[in-house]
Amino acid sequence: MKKVVLVVMDGIGYSEKTEGNAVAVARTPNLDWLMENASYTYLKAHGEAVGLPSDEDMGNSEVGHNAMGCGQIYSQGAKLVNEKIESKEVFQSKAWNELVENCVKNNSYIHFIGLLSDGNVHSNISHLFSLLEQSKKEQIKGARVHILLDGRDVPATSALTYVDLLENKISKLRSNEFDCAIASGGGRMKITMDRYNANWNMVKLGYDLHVKGEGRGFTSATEAITTYRKEKVGIVDQDLPGFVIINDNNEPIGKIKDGDSVILFNFRGDRAIEISRALTEEVFCEFDRGVLPNIMFAGMLQYDGDKHIPERFLVEPPKIKNTLSEILVKNNIRQYAISETQKYGHVTYFWNGNKLDKFDDKLETFCEIPSDKVSFDERPWMKSAEITDEMIKVICSDEYDFIRCNYPNGDMVGHTGSFDATVIGVEAVDLAIGRLLQVIDEKGYCLLITADHGNADEMFEKNKKGELQPRTAHSLNKVPFIIYGIDAIVKKGEFGLSNIASTVTQILGIKPHSSWDESVIL
């Protein structure tokens, strides 16, 4: 048995290309040394290897940490919802029928809130289209769509492409019997989609737009987006301010009112929990909502199974069991997990199979370092130093057998589209690893280093004119898996993130669960 430290370099993938590759451009003497002196391989971190529909689908932090922490592959997010929509099961669910009956009984509207893109990370526009089509078939009075603009999992300024697609779909569905329109919207990093209780004001801004119709008014989403782009030159979609669509009398056309049904069509949980709480909880203290309308709410999935958020949902989430943490607890292995706020939930909630609570309070310790509330390109080092300070203390304490951490820099700074800032972010992670190496050697730990997906490794892409422009989405590249501190022979073959769990237990001297994918090393 040997104690293990696992470092997840969030968003730091591998690519042989150097153009737009912040990882290749960054000065990384510690990672370079490890690649020369340690065993390593490259793991798939996207598509079918993490339970997504196809290998054209980029990986993300949620499914990446699920795969690492669960040791096996589950149908995830888009794939899961695709299956239920294609089979029409979603429209036979109890939740869907309750939402429809509520609208028919009250002669009210059905509202859809969610990320408007086909990024397949938080949502897919095709799911929204299917829900709108079925709403018309159900003879509901009408629908209102509250759009959250992406520019993060898709090209940075592609919002109008998706708005056009939605407007075309609406124009085909709209009739005297079915009143359909976009009602409000804004950038995903400005309104509604906060996570881990980092910035509840984002949720309040979204709530006020969607529910109260309070915000800057425009006659259309296209007008709102084009106006903001003229006023704020260089702004990307995720940072666009909120807006409300108004009629000729300057009144909002789609406030959420008593008797309405509301569906949050995002399938990913982390950025869906807070707005779900704001729209459903009777006792709510995060911000002043005013009078909560009497609505019927459902999520695409249940985003937190332990706390039943929300209680009503359209698609059953994957039932994840026999996770790495669970097996380690059964073997009396002491665990420690740490990151800053932006990725804290990934090394805890997602790692443990979408389980918010611990398997054992005595054997598991979680530590959250509060993130800065600024744009990440302004402080690309983020909290890497503070995370490393705590990691060194924990390693030196000899209290834990398995220690894991996440450095968010490559992903969170990479999403800003700032190449120079991302280079600094990658260098900050390398500096942190260099500090860890000293105590790893002193204490005799095994160090594993990997990433949950790529991002910083592919920062540019060509537009329709063939011109290079910032790329803010994840890449489809493999990620490194470095094994240091033991004499390890890496097996030949194709491996993915789900192979990490068996590798960890092998080093710890524990038998892996029979359902897991095999270890990477002999």
Structure tokens at 47: 């598509």
Q: How far apart are CA 11 and CA 361, in angstroms?
A: 30
Alpha helices in 76-211 (DSSP H): 77-86, 94-106, 125-137, 159-173, 200-207
Q: Which residues contact 330 (CB under 8 A, 6 or more apart)?
A: none
CA 503, 508, 509: angle at the middle one, nearest 5?
95
CA 390, CA 396: separation in Å to the nearest integer?
Answer: 10
Rg, C-alpha atoms of the chain: 23
Q: What residue type is 76 in one-letter code?
A: Q
- The question of whether 15 is a catalytic residue gets the answer no
What does the alpha-carbon distance between residue 477 and residue 134 come to, in Å, rounded to a whole number?
Answer: 37
What is the C-alpha separation between 243 and 388, in angstroms, rounded? 41
CB atoms within 10 A of CB 184: 35
* 439, 396 Cβ separation under 8 angstroms: yes
Would you call 498 exposed, middle or buried from its count of C-beta atoms within 10 A (0-12, 13-18, 19+)?
buried
Q: Which of 127, 119, 128 is nearest to 46 (CA)?
A: 119
Angle of CA points 415, 392, 354, to nearest 5°: 50
- Residue 301 in 3-state DSSP? strand
CB crowding 33-62: b at 16 or more within 10 Å, else e: ebeeebbbbebbbbbebbbbbeeebbbbbb
Bridge partners of 403, per DSSP, are 5, 336
C-alpha separations of 120 from 55, 158, 490 in Å:
12, 15, 32
Task: Say which of 61, 184, 339, 475 is annotated catalytic.
Answer: 61
What pairing do the DSSP bridges indicate for beta strands 479-484 and 39-43? antiparallel
Over the range 426-449, which residues count as b (16 or more CB within 10 Å of their CB) and which as e? Answer: bbbbbbbbbbbbebbeeeebbbbb
Residue whose pair of structure tokens reads 């451009």 in the numeric block: 25
- To 10 degrees, what angle do helices 61-70 and 500-508 make? 40
Separation of alpha carbons 242 and 218, rounded Å: 11
Active site residues: 61
